[in-house]
Homo-oligomer: A and B are copies of this chain.
C-alpha cells in the first residue's frame, strides 16, 4: 500500500495531530484569519501559532520595531503589539485551520480570562509565551520567576482541557529547570526557544536602532543555541518539545528533530525567503524521508540522544 504524503509527514504533538511538523512561529503574520487560511491552503503549514494575545489591545513600541541584521537575523522589539483578546477572538471565530492561540500576560489571573475568550472556538490549543525578552513585566520576566510559572500553568490547566504548550527561552534561569517546572505543573509540551535579548547600535548616529533599545535576536544566529536547548530539554523531560530558532531549510528541521523536537516552528526565514519557505522545506523533508525509506518522520525524533 502506498503511503500518502500526509501519513509520512504527520506528527502527533501532545495529542494534537498535524499534517506535518512545520508550524508558523508566534509573532509572524499572526493576526489575520485570512492569512492563516492562506498559509494553510497555499503554503501547507502544519499549524499556526497566533501572535501573542494579551487581555487588552497593545499598540506596541514606535518604530523601528523590526531590524534586519546581517547573516539572516532579525532584532525585534515590537512590544507585543496585538489586537487584544476581544478583537482577536472575533477575528478567529470562524477558524477552520489548525491554530494555536499564543497567550501572554503579566499576572496569574489574566490567563483564566484569556482562556475564557478562546476556549469555545475551534482551535487546537494554546501556547503560553513566558519568554519575550524585551517587554517589562511580560514574557521573560515572568518566565524567570519559577514559582509564578508554576502557578500560571496550574491555573491555565485548571480552566481548560485543551493542550497547553509552554514557550520558554534563554533568560536568566536554566532552561531545563523551567521546562521541568512547566512539566510538573501540567504543561503538555514545551516550545524552545524564543528570541534572545540583544541590541544593535548604529555607529553613525551613536544610537540603539530599536526604539525600545533592547530587543530579541532571532534567525540563523540562534540555531545552535536552539538545538542545544531542545536536546537538553527533551533528554530530561517526558513531554514533547517543539524546536524553534533559525530554521531556514529542511536540513535545519531534521537537525532539530534529531535533537528531540516533535515539531518545529519557523519564523525569521519567512522574512528572507517568503512564505513559500514552508512548502520548500516540506518538499525537502519528503525527499529525505523517501531516501531514508522511513515510514514516518517521527522515527527520527531524538535520534541524536543515542550518542
Contact = CB atoms under 8 A, between A and B. Distances in A.
* Size bracket of the A interface: 35 or more
- Which of A198, A221, A231 has most chain B Cβ within 10 Å? A221
Contacts of A232: 214
Interface string A206-228: 11100001100100111011011
Interface in A146-205: 170, 172-174, 177, 196-201, 203
Contact of A200 (B224, B306, B307): B224
A175 B40 CA distance: 41
Contacts of A203: 251, 254-255, 258
A244 interface: no
Given A203-B258, A304-B207, A198 B224 contact: yes
Interface of A: 69-73, 75, 144, 170, 172-174, 177, 196-201, 203, 206-208, 213-214, 217, 220-222, 224-225, 227-228, 231-232, 251, 254-255, 258-259, 300, 303-304, 306-307
A228 B71 contact: no
A304 B255 contact: no
Nearest to A199: B228
As for how many copies of this chain the complex holds, the number is 2
Contact of A220 (B70, B198, B214): B70
Q: Which 6 A-B pairs have the closest CB atoms?
A: A198-B224, A221-B221, A199-B228, A71-B71, A172-B174, A203-B254
A200 B172 contact: no
Contacts of A307: 206-208, 213
10 contacts: A197-B228, A198-B227, A199-B224, A201-B259, A203-B251, A206-B258, A206-B303, A208-B231, A213-B231, A217-B224
A222 B221 contact: yes
Contacts of A217: 224-225
Contact of A304 (B208, B221, B300): B208
A231 B199 CA distance: 9
A203 B75 CA distance: 28
A73 B70 CA distance: 13
